[in-house]
Amino acid sequence: MNSGIVFILNLLDVSGELPVQIITDHLFRKAHKNEIEEIQKVLSISQPPARHNYDVRYKSTLRSEKSTSTTSYRFEELPESQWKYWVVAFEGWNDKLHDIEKCALLLEVDLDFGFQILFEDSYQSGKLAAHTFLPIHLIEKYSTHKHSMTNTEDIPTKELKKISRFYELSCNLKPDYSYINNALENFLTIRRIPEKSELLIVGYFSIIESLITHAPRLTETLDSIGHQIRNKMILLRKKFSRTIAYETYFKDVAESKIWQKLYSYRSYLAHGNIPDFQKEFQVLVNNDSVSAFLKEIIKELLIIALDDPEFVTDLKKC
């Protein structure tokens, strides 16, 4: 097995110059014709079959009859130039794909690496040697209506080029900063938890805590985990590479109040309580909003940690 591809499951509209070299012998590009045929075969035998619309455009029609309304869908075939079969093509063995996938999760559009198709010869040629299957958590995700029809995402190639920088920074971390790579690994692993699960919230907070907090000093009353997170996150937000608007996810209240409620919500779940979004957690709107917000926060924290591990390590001790 001398070469291969990993199929990107996202429905992407990519703008900019292609291909993009991620690292040596690893290119993000459009799939070739022979690769598309193999991709379609693997998608068709997924259990359950994963809906795939990489070469069609769905259009919805809303029909209203008296007090009810229904939405019907029809599709139009796309010209080949607009097909959305994207891959990371690699030469040799695939031992670097795992680390590339971790770093790709730090993009604004976190790429979903699906299955691999391996070839006997270089440059994705020769006989098909083997293929893997879709991971179960991605079958569940892409079998839903939301992800199968309407979730096309725009991404410029300048954004894809960030993967290379994140990869290099991750590989060059000194042993003293191994906790950062561990947090990055956990950020990938946690994606196996279903999107609607409340366990995601506890897991996300575990990653945040590992990056910016220390064990509370019992001699200091203002050293609790919740207090550390609330104060440090307000400071760190100023270093984010992009703006994460709190009002997009939650009710319009003070930033410190949001973090107070978020950590309280995390503790509620960890102790087996059922939160009420109509009362004490009304400001947080719902579990989906909390989950989506924390995921974006972790991306920014990991980018800061990779860029300036000494700063984050010093902050962690404070």
Q: 236-268 pLDDT, tens per residue?
A: 999 999 999 999 999 999 999 999 999 999 999
List the one residue out of 91, 241, 244, 90 whose CA is nearest residue 162: 241
Same domain, 288 and 141: no
49 pLDDT band (50/70/90 cuts)?
Answer: low
Instruction: Report CA-CA distances (Å) from 310 to 173, 177, 285, 305, 306.
Output: 10, 8, 36, 8, 9
pLDDT for the residue numbered 9: 92
Q: How many domains does the chain have?
A: 2
Residues 141-168 have a mean pLDDT of 84
Domain boundary among 145, 165, 185: 165
pLDDT for the residue numbered 145: 53
Same domain, 116 and 97: yes
Same domain, 154 and 294: no
pLDDT for the residue numbered 45: 84
> 13 in helix, strand or coil?
strand
pLDDT for the residue numbered 13: 94
Mean pLDDT over the full length of the chain:
90
Domain boundary among 165, 189, 222: 165
Provide the domain limits for residue 44.
Answer: 3-165
Same domain, 159 and 177: no
Same domain, 42 and 145: yes
144 pLDDT band (50/70/90 cuts)?
Answer: low
Same domain, 17 and 140: yes
Same domain, 128 and 189: no
Same domain, 158 and 249: no
Q: What's the rounded Cα separation, in Å, for the pair 141 and 194?
A: 8
Which two structure tokens, joined as six digits, stand for 122?
Answer: 């270089």
pLDDT for the residue numbered 46: 77
pLDDT for the residue numbered 136: 85
Are 176 and 35 in contact by the 8 Å Cβ rule? The answer is no
Cα maximum dimension of the chain: 67
Peptide bond into 48 cis (omega under 30): yes
Residue 305 has pLDDT above 90, yes or no: yes
pTM for this prediction: 0.91
* 61-67-73 Cα angle (round to 5): 15
Handedness of CA 121, 111, 142, 75 (dihedral sign): negative
Residues 94-111 have a mean pLDDT of 95
How is residue 105 annotated by DSSP? T
pLDDT for the residue numbered 121: 95
Same domain, 62 and 124: yes
- Cβ-proximal residues to 191 (8 Å cutoff; 6+ apart), any chain: 105, 137
pLDDT for the residue numbered 35: 97
Rg (CA), the chain: 22
Same domain, 148 and 181: no
Same domain, 177 and 143: no
Same domain, 187 and 227: yes
Range with the poorest average pLDDT among 72-81, 131-140, 205-214: 72-81
pLDDT for the residue numbered 99: 97
Domain boundary among 111, 140, 165: 165
